[in-house]
Chains A and B, each alone.
Chain A
Amino acid sequence: EPEVTQTPSHQVTQMGQEVILRCVPISNHLYFYWYRQILGQKVEFLVSFYNNEISEKSEIFDDQFSVERPDGSNFTLKIRSTKLEDSAMYFCASSGGTGALSGANVLTFGAGSRLTVL
């Protein structure tokens, strides 16, 4: 079964450092997302990406965050200068098969990248 792959599984960084989290979405999907989950809390939307641009972002996704699809397979989340409160599990997700609206509904999540900011 196709899956979303995320690396690294766990990253520890110092406050103020830049972090890049990487994702390989399902190959024929069109929509890409980043969500985060602070320990014990709900899953929160960060950003959605379609047709090589951000289609929507939350208030959490401030100027410290950026996303990129540098090639045909990878989707990255960059946090420019990490803060303690950025510590969370970051999930990449993708959706949308060959253009049917219903395909956009089914988000497939990766296993997550745990970010710990010290």
Chain B
Amino acid sequence: QQQVKQSPQSLIVQKGGISIINCAYENTAFDYFPWYQQFPGKGPALLIAIRPDVSEKKEGRFTISFNKSAKQFSLHIMDSQPGDSATYFCAARGRYNQGGKLIFGQGTELSVKP
């Protein structure tokens, strides 16, 4: 199965709160899981990424948690700010895909209220 399922579709969080976006996959051949951030009128931009040999990766306020056995991974945004308001996409890449093709989730529209 070449799908990545993402939830929720939209999320409203108060400034300073924690935003959590979840993704699930079925293909065990996926070996690279990036998160992309997209602002209106712009292309997706890489935010943070993880490989399945680690369970967590943190970069500033952004953390990916990875559960290999459950085939799930999530993005946590700590101390969410209005500037974080954007659409977030999880994605996955196949281990044998040398060309870097990414399979994207459906996207989560995050709104951080001041």
Interface size class of A (residues with CB under 8 A): 20 to 34
Residues of chain A within 8 A of B44, CB atoms compared: 43, 91, 109
Q: List 20 A-B contacts (CB under 8 A).
A: A31-B99, A31-B100, A33-B99, A42-B104, A42-B105, A44-B104, A45-B101, A45-B104, A48-B99, A50-B99, A55-B98, A56-B99, A56-B101, A96-B100, A105-B100, A106-B34, A106-B49, A107-B46, A108-B46, A111-B41
Question: Hey, which bits of chain A sit against chain B, CB under 8 A?
Answer: 4, 31, 33, 41-45, 48, 50, 55-56, 91, 93, 95-96, 101, 104-112
Interface size class of B (residues with CB under 8 A): 20 to 34
Docked complex Cα distance between A84 and B110 (Å): 30
Query: What is the total of A-B residue contacts with beta carbons within 8 Å?
Result: 65
